[in-house]
């Protein structure tokens, strides 16, 4: 192999949280990055606009292709054209709650979609050239069998999403064993960032806290506050994906921080970032979070009007509409194999992650506040 030639990567799910961080990471390493993007009636490239390159440039190292994980011929054509050294299969219907509403589509995209990628590599005779990373998940563990969860902990998926990902996991193992492919699963625990999808719980919380601070919202409705998650930062986790494809032999790895936290405490931490203390009382559906203290020095420093933070105000309520028919109550990962073999360890702690997300959402909501105040916020195109 010509060692001076830049490596070529193909990322599915490039418009998502991880796709965006990974694309940036690989470009910095000198890769030529190709990405799969779905056609959408509105622009869906917000997260990668900063690295977008004009297609009219004669030389580009960042190239997007229209496609979909449910479309085999499209995937085969792109992979044939791109001849990637590495494929990162990150595309998925990734919302656990939504998978209960769209189980068949989720199985198609997340389960069979993985097969389509692996089989395209096989059909094109690329098994000895192209390495494949599969975005597997801690949701595979589901109903707690043992903690902390490691590569040897039995799976017990608890949602159509997790069941689809279970297929993706095993078909990756099977193609590795059957066709001697370099294919591996990263069993990643929850990872978040300022560009996390807005309907996942952490981002829903940081956006709402920022809006409450600026008087743009008065309450946040959540589901199960007792669920515990092992939350890391996406920036750290995409590095682990890359490391998994740089080894002598393909293996599966758990990527996690080893610290677990209830949703309720994430809420407390997000409010603490703006100098607000929350107390929770009540149980299950009647549980609520009330402001019991505020630090005016922090509020002033952040330029948050004190009158927006009312002592005794209920800011968090439970809405059972956000409960899942079957829930995953406790996730805590043991990433010692990755630490030993890949030399990977997370740089971000949970407090650092919460601060990063809160800083970013406060800035974002200030923009929204400015637009609202200026009368630019709602434009009715149809009047």
Q: Which of 70, 150, 326, 336 binds ligand NDP (CB under 6 A)?
A: 70
Residue 357 CB neighbours (<10 A): 26
Binding positions for ligand GDR, 305-364, rule CB under 6 A: 322, 324, 327-328
Contact 161, 95 (CB under 8 A): yes
d(CA 365, CA 354): 16
Residue 137 annotated to the active site: yes
Q: How many residues bind ligand NDP (CB under 6 A)?
A: 26
Contact 149, 103 (CB under 8 A): no
Question: Angle of helix 72-82 relative to helix 113-123, nearest 10 degrees?
Answer: 50
Residue 279 annotated to the active site: no
Look at residue 198 and give its three-state secondary structure. Answer: coil
Site map 142..181 versus ligand GDR, x via CB under 6 A:
----------------------------------------
Q: Which of 18, 139, 236, 239 binds ligand GDR (CB under 6 A)?
A: 139
The two three-digit tokens of residue 317, written as one number: 């309520």
Choices 26-34, 77-85, 169-177, 219-227 (CB under 6 A): range interacting with ligand GDR: 219-227
Is position 222 an interface residue for ligand GDR (rule: CB under 6 A)?
yes
Sign of CA dihedral 247, 37, 48, 352: negative
Is position 160 an interface residue for ligand NDP (rule: CB under 6 A)?
no
d(CA 195, CA 141): 26
CB of 350 to ligand GDR, least distance (A): 14
Phi and psi (nearest 5°) for 28? -65, -30
Q: Are strands 261-262 and 228-229 parallel, antiparallel or unpaired?
A: antiparallel
Is position 105 an interface residue for ligand GDR (rule: CB under 6 A)?
no
Choose the contact partner of 16 out of ligand NDP, ligand GDR, none; CB within 5 to 8 A by kind: ligand NDP
User: Whose Cβ is closer to ligand GDR: residue 172's or residue 224's?
Assistant: 224
Choose the contact partner of 201 out of ligand NDP, ligand GDR, none; CB within 5 to 8 A by kind: ligand GDR
């Amino acid at each position: 192999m010509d060692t001076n030639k830049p490596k070529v990567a193909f990322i599915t799910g490039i418009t998502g949280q991880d796709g965006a961080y990974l694309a940036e990471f690989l470009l910095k390493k000198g890769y030529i990055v190709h990405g799969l993007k779905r056609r959408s009636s509105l622009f869906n490239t917000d997260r990668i606009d900063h690295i977008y390159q004009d297609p009219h440039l004669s030389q580009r190292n960042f190239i997007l292709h229209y496609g979909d994980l449910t479309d085999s011929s499209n995937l085969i054509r792109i992979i044939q054209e791109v001849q990637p050294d590495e494929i990162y299969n990150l595309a998925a219907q990734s919302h656990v709650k939504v998978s209960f509403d769209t189980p068949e589509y989720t199985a198609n995209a997340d389960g069979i979609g993985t097969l389509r990628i692996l089989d395209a590599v096989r059909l094109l005779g690329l098994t000895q050239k192209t390495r494949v990373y599969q975005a597997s998940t801690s949701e595979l563990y589901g109903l707690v069998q043992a903690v902390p969860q490691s590569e040897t902990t039995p799976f017990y998926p608890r949602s159509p999403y997790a069941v689809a990902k279970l297929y993706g996991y095993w078909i990756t193992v099977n193609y590795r064993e059957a066709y001697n492919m370099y294919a591996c699963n990263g069993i990643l625990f929850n990872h978040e960032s300022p560009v996390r999808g807005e309907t996942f719980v952490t981002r829903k919380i940081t956006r709402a806290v920022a809006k409450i601070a600026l008087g743009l919202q008065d309450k946040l409705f959540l589901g199960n506050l007792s669920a515990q998650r092992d939350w890391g930062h996406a920036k750290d986790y995409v590095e682990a994906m890359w490391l998994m494809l740089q080894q002598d032999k393909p293996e599966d790895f758990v990527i996690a921080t080893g610290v677990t936290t209830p949703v309720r405490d994430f809420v407390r931490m997000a409010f603490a970032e703006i100098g607000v203390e929350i107390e929770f009382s009540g149980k299950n559906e009647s549980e609520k979070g009330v402001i019991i203290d505020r630090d005016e020095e922090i509020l002033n420093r952040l330029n948050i009007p004190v009158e927006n933070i009312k002592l005794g105000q209920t800011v968090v309520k439970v809405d059972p509409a956000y409960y899942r028919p079957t829930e995953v109550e406790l996730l805590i990962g043991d990433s010692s194999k990755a630490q030993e073999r890949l030399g990977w360890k997370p740089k971000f702690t949970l407090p650092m992650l919460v601060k990063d997300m809160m800083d970013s959402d406060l800035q974002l909501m200030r923009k929204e506040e400015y637009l609202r105040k200026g009368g630019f916020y709602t434009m009715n195109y149809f009047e």
